[in-house]
């Protein structure tokens, strides 16, 4: 195990203490859980194959100039002007 020390803003410390009291845990337990959850969340984002897709060129020309009108309707252009 490694020891990690850091400074946190007073407001964050208050919230951690409040959560620890409510859950009947030590500050150390609450912070350790938070770090574990953050690492799991962060790792899953990096490993998410959907987010790391590279665009594929299918050789088909597309015209996106009318996309907003299709999605929002023709009146959307009138509202912007």
Residue-by-residue pLDDT tens, the chain, 81 positions = 899 999 999 999 999 999 999 999 999 999 999 999 998 888 876 666 776 677 788 888 877 788 888 888 876 545 555
Question: Does domain 1-57 bear CATH number 3.30.70?
Answer: no
Angle, helices 27-47 vs 10-22, to 10°: value is 100
Q: Where are the domains of the chain?
A: 1-57
Residue 55: helix, strand or coil by DSSP? coil
pTM above 0.85, yes or no: no
Dig out the tokens for 64 from the structure: 């996106």
């Amino acid at each position: 195990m490694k020891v990690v020390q850091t400074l946190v803003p007073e407001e964050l410390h208050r919230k951690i203490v409040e959560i620890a009291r409510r859950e009947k845990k030590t500050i150390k337990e609450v912070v350790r859980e938070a770090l574990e959850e953050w690492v799991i969340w962060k790792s899953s984002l990096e490993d998410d194959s959907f987010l790391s897709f590279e665009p594929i060129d299918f050789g088909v020309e597309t015209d996106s100039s009318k996309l907003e009108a299709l999605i929002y309707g023709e009146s959307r252009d009138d509202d912007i002007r």
